Every structure is written in C-alpha cells, then in structure tokens.
Amino acid sequence: MPPQRIYLAGPEVFLANAKEVGEEKKALCRKYGFEGVFPIDVEVKAEGKSPREFGLCISDVNEGLIRSCQIVIANLTPFRGPSADVGTVYELGFSHALGKLVLAYTNLAESFTERTAKALGGRVKRGADGLLRDGLGMFIEENCLIDNLMIDGCLNANSKLLIVEQAPAGELFSWLGGFEKCLAAAKKLTSKGT
C-alpha cells in the first residue's frame, strides 16, 4: 500500500524559506508513515502568463493536490489579522466538503476575542444587548473558540483535532511542534482497526 498523502495547508508558503519549511514538514510526514504534499511542490511557471493567469493557475494546481490527498493538516496560525490565512481557510472548507480527514493546529495560544480586540486597536464596546461590538457596531464572537466558528465547527465535525500551542518567540510560522502532534493523531486515526 502506498503511504497516505497529506496536503500541508498553511501560510508558511509565504516565508522566504518556504521550501525549507516544506521539506521539514515532509520529513516529519515520512517519520509517521505519510507522504507530505506541500503546495509549492508543483512549480508553476510564470513565463508567458499574466500575473492574474499565474495566480489562477496556482489555485488550480492546489485544488488538484488537495483532491489527490486523503488527509489535510492546516496551519491556522493567525496571519495579517486576527484570523487564520484565508487561503488556508478556503482549503479547509474545500477539504472538509470533499470528505478528507482534516486536522489543524495554531501556533498562537491567545484567544480569538482578544486577538480581534487587539487588531481593532482596542476600539470595542459592549452594547446594551451584551455583545462586544467594533466601531461599525459589528459584533465580535465570544464563543471560546480559536477562530471564526465555521473553522472550529469544521474540525469538531471532522477529526476533532485542533492543536493550540504557543510557538517559541520568532518561530510563529515555522515552528512544527503542533504540526507533529497532528501527525501523531492522524497516524492513530488512520490505523484504527488495522
């Protein structure tokens, strides 16, 4: 039997050393008996394409890679705002709907409500209805979840695996402690009954 394939979703593709982090993740996958698939494994050539065509082509390749995998591990560490990277979140919804086994981790332990209030520069106010609201009067979730409820809901309905751990300073997007816990859990979940 070939090893099961895991799509490695996360904002680390934006890092200057993205390839290196991808190789580290794939080495860890092998350690647990899996084949890791990193989004930038397939090189999309920019030549002859407009920036728009180039971007759309990468999206197409990534959706194909997800379809080719049995498992997805998503890095939900907040990225340029209080929430996870939207590209990763898109892939989470896409994967869950396709029936993939989905697990996730975040390298930031701070609560979603606190992160949101901080991102809004503290300009939040509790309304007469008891809800915390931003400057536009839009409420802020206080459900003790790690991000928007659709994200936690996905993982709760899927693997129930969402590792929350604080990365060491300076390693927010490259630390793999939570990721390795997902791999251990994936191994346990997929070897059940075999």
Residues that bind a copy of itself (CB under 8 A): 11, 14-16, 50-52, 54-56, 58-60, 62-63, 80-87, 89-98, 116, 119-120, 127, 133-134, 136-145, 147-154, 156-157, 172-173
Q: Looking at beta carbons only, is 1 or 136 nearer to a copy of itself?
A: 136
- Exposed (0-12), middle (13-18) or buried (19+): which is 36, by Cβ within 10 Å? buried
Strand partners, 7: 37, 72
Q: Looking at beta carbons only, is 33 or 64 nearer to a copy of itself?
A: 64
Q: Rounded distance, CA 79 to CA 88, Å?
A: 10
SS3 label, residue 191:
coil
In the complex, least distance from residue 2 CB atom to a copy of itself, rounded to whole angstroms: 24
Q: Looking at beta carbons only, is 19 or 31 nearer to a copy of itself?
A: 19
Q: Rounded distance, CA 19 to CA 194, Å?
A: 34
In 10 A of CB 1, how many CB atoms?
A: 4
In the complex, least distance from residue 33 CB atom to a copy of itself, rounded to whole angstroms: 27
Kind of pairing, strands 71-75 and 101-106? parallel
In the complex, least distance from residue 101 CB atom to a copy of itself, rounded to whole angstroms: 15
In the complex, least distance from residue 31 CB atom to a copy of itself, rounded to whole angstroms: 27
Q: Looking at beta carbons only, is 2 or 130 nearer to a copy of itself?
A: 130
